[in-house]
Each structure stands twice: as structure tokens, then as C-alpha cells.
Copies of this chain bind each other. A is one copy, B any other.
Amino acid sequence: MEDYIAALTEGRILMGAGPSDVHPGVLRALGMPIIGHLDPELFEIVNHTKDLLAKTFETANDFTIPIAGTGTAAMEAALINFIEPGDKVLICVSGLFGERMVDIAQRCGGDVEVLEAEWGKIIEPSDVERALSKRPAKVVSIVHAETSTGVLQPIKPIADIAHKHGAILVVDAVTSLAGAPVRVDETGIDVCFSAAQKCLSCPPGLAPITVGARAMEILEARKTKLHSLYLDLKALHDRWGHHRFYHHTAPVNMLYGLYEGLKILHDEGLEASFQRHELGGKALRSGLEAMGLSLFAQEAYRSPMITTVWIPDGVDDVRVRKHLMDNYRLEISPGLGSFKGKIWRVGLMGRSCARENVMLFLTALEEALIAEGFSPEQGAGIAGAREVYAR
């Protein structure tokens, strides 16, 4: 049988919507010998992982754990545990992941109101205020950095409005955690979740979640039994808390990787990581605009982690991405939904957010666009990015 794994040594430059590149230290950690899932040494690693996660979310929440699944599992856990059948829920939707939250909240019986904004735009706090004034909700949910649009949503005003109306706020920080300030406690986020494979530079398969005091009260007061055992946060709280009774077999090697990735993150420093992402995003946008391309996301709300850019008329989405992959092993992501073939999504997350990646991508993209008959001024992209780095 062909040795597909050996062939992977080439790797990729992952500048898509995620996963992002994984640090060699994390890869090494993944491959360490397994120990039992109830081994005292694993509890040491798990306890430190919980502490590092809380530090990353910037929260004092005791209940801060990695869910044994991908970001979608954490999104599901973050919603279904706090919604009982018939509960009123307000979901802010301005992209695919907002839509997905609606799907999840409806499946578990929530009485869902959808507050929509155009893809590429933020949700206006005044619209949330108006919606909750008309129809109060128990849970309000919103995406911090929409991976589908590249918009970075201000959360603090939404949190204040939600609390004023007696709701808890659930925030999807899948793409933002460690890339841009989430600051769970300062912002007043009640439930926040993320995923390992974006700015944490770990492989997909684990998804951090943190639950604050107001949300814990709802959990404790729940009257109907949760449909899911696997994603039952009360059971997981017992499992990861002091009781340590068996709930599921913890994904041992993945936990090694997450622990190592978090250690590397905090060796750099959280604020330093934010600044690196901020700078990378600016340089990339500057380069793209210098090449004559137009950015998709609403100005002033552009996410450093995912840059969305319109594909110029006459340029073929698939051919360009194929050029980048075939010649540079460089991955970027297509648009989603009705924006497929119309925009690209370029990720600069975690380890992928490096100056060499910004420069290489702009060089490779220039080449691919010339092949498509779109002629940017030679070297303009590079120059545009360099200007930002030189400041």
C-alpha cells in the first residue's frame, strides 16, 4: 500500500481559513508515548492546559476546558446546554457560522429569532438593542471573527446590551482567540468557545470552551435533560473538575499538543501575538490594495486573522488557487455560499501569521494574476506590505 504519510513531509503553507500551520514543537508533542487517560501525569498536563486556556481567554472562570471534538462540537456545546425547548434565543447572523448557530439552536428546540446583517458587515449594536427591546431572549449569540467574511465584530457593546436585557452572551471566538483580544471577563462574555487549529497553531480535534458564573447558574437550573451526553457540560464539569470521574476517554496525544501549543503561545506572550496578527493583517491588506485589488470586509472592522478580497473580473478562482498550491504548496480558501468564485479568504493565523508568508503569498499571487491577464504594477504588492513592516 502506498505510503501516503511519508509523502506528507513536504507540508504546506497554510494561509486558508484553517487549519493553520502547526509548530514543530506541537508536532513533536503529538508523537510522544501515550499514557493512560486517568494517569496522574495526564492530570498535571490537563490542569496546566486549563490554566493556560483561562489565561488565553483572559478569564478567571474555573470551568475552562478543551472539548473532545472540533469547533463545531464546541459551538454545539455552547448553545444546547443553555437552551431548553421553547427558550427564546437571539442569534446574530452575518456569515456562515452565524447561520450554523441558528441551525444548532433550532435543532435543540430554541425559539430562535435571527438578526441578520449583510455578509461582510458587522451586526450593529443598535439593532441588537431594538430586537431585545421588542422580544427579550435568554441567550444571545454572535460570532467574533466570521471566518466566512473576514469581519471582526466588536463584542463589548453587544455584551452590555444582552446583559441589560437579562440575557447571557455566547461568543464564537474560533478564529479570533489568541489572534485578537477576546478578553472574556473584561468584555463580559458568558460562554466563549474556540478551536485548536486557528491562532493556537494546534491540529484540529480539540475545541476550548469557557463558562462564566451567569451561565453556570443557567446550567445548574436546567429543568429538562440535555439530549446529548457527549456534550453535556455539567457532566464535563464534573469530569474535568475535582471529581474526575469517567465521562469519556480523553484524547491524550491531542492534549499533549494543545498543552505545548499554549506554552509556545504564552512564551511569545498574548499581547505580542495580538500585535503580530495586527501587523500581518495590515501588511497583507496594504499589499493587496497596492496591487489594485479590493477588500471585501467592511472598513474599520477587518479581521487581521482572515483577509477577504474580491477576485478581479475575468480572473479564475480555481486556477489561481491551483497555481499557488502547485508551485508554492500554498493554500488559501475560496469564498463560501454565494461568494464562492467571487472572493478569496487569506488566513494569517497563529504560526501561519509570519512576515515571510505575507511576502511569499503576495509574490505568488502577483504571478498567478499575471497568468490570468490581470496586470498589477510589478512588485507593488510586496512594496505595499513592506511599507507597513518598515513603519
Is A204 a contact of B250 with CB atoms below 8 Å?
Answer: yes
Q: What residue of chain B has the Cβ atom nearest to residue A79's Cβ?
A: B229
Given contact pairs A72-B230, A227-B227, A252-B19, A8 touches B35 in the complex (Cβ within 8 A): yes
Is the CB of A254 closer than 8 A to any CB of chain B?
Answer: yes
The smallest beta-carbon distance between A273 and chain B, in angstroms, is 17
- A19 partner residues in chain B, CB cutoff 8 A: 34, 36-37, 249, 252
Is B69 a contact of A68 with CB atoms below 8 Å?
Answer: yes
Is B253 a contact of A30 with CB atoms below 8 Å?
Answer: yes
- A225 partner residues in chain B, CB cutoff 8 A: 106-107
The smallest beta-carbon distance between A135 and chain B, in angstroms, is 23
Q: What residue of chain B has the Cβ atom nearest to residue A36's Cβ?
A: B331
Is B32 a contact of A12 with CB atoms below 8 Å?
Answer: no
User: What's the dominant secondary structure at chain A's contact region?
Assistant: loop
Q: In the bound complex, what is the Cα–Cα distance between A29 and B256 (angstroms)?
A: 15
Q: What residue of chain B has the Cβ atom nearest to residue A96's Cβ?
A: B246
Q: Which of B21, B44, B69, B231 contacts A34 (CB 8 A)?
A: B21
- A257 partner residues in chain B, CB cutoff 8 A: 253
Is B80 a contact of A227 with CB atoms below 8 Å?
Answer: yes
Is B14 a contact of A34 with CB atoms below 8 Å?
Answer: yes
The smallest beta-carbon distance between A105 and chain B, in angstroms, is 10
Is the CB of A214 closer than 8 A to any CB of chain B?
Answer: no
> Which residues between 195 and 240 of chain A lie within 8 Å of chain B, taking CB atoms?
195, 197, 203-205, 225-231
Most buried by B among A76, A205, A331: A205
Q: In the bound complex, what is the Cα–Cα distance between A246 and B72 (angstroms)?
A: 11
Residue-wise, chain A 164-192 has the 8 Å CB interface mask toward B (1 for contact) of 00000000000000000000000000000
Is the CB of A251 closer than 8 A to any CB of chain B?
Answer: yes
Is A70 a contact of B259 with CB atoms below 8 Å?
Answer: no
Given contact pairs A4-B45, A249-B204, A31 touches B34 in the complex (Cβ within 8 A): no
Q: In the bound complex, what is the Cα–Cα distance between A22 and B1 (angstroms)?
A: 21
Q: What residue of chain B has the Cβ atom nearest to residue A76's Cβ?
A: B230
Q: In the bound complex, what is the Cα–Cα distance between A68 and B68 (angstroms)?
A: 8
Is the CB of A386 closer than 8 A to any CB of chain B?
Answer: no
Q: List 9 A-B contacts (CB under 8 A).
A: A1-B266, A4-B44, A8-B41, A11-B34, A12-B35, A19-B36, A34-B203, A68-B69, A227-B228
Other CB < 8 Å A-B pairs besides A4-B259, A70-B248, 10 of them?
A9-B33, A12-B39, A19-B252, A21-B34, A34-B203, A69-B69, A69-B230, A70-B250, A72-B248, A100-B229
A binding-site residues for B, Cβ under 8 Å:
1, 4-5, 7-12, 14, 16, 18-19, 21-22, 27-37, 39, 41, 44-45, 48, 68-73, 76, 80, 100, 103-104, 106-109, 195, 197, 203-205, 225-231, 246-254, 256-257, 259-260, 263, 266, 331, 336
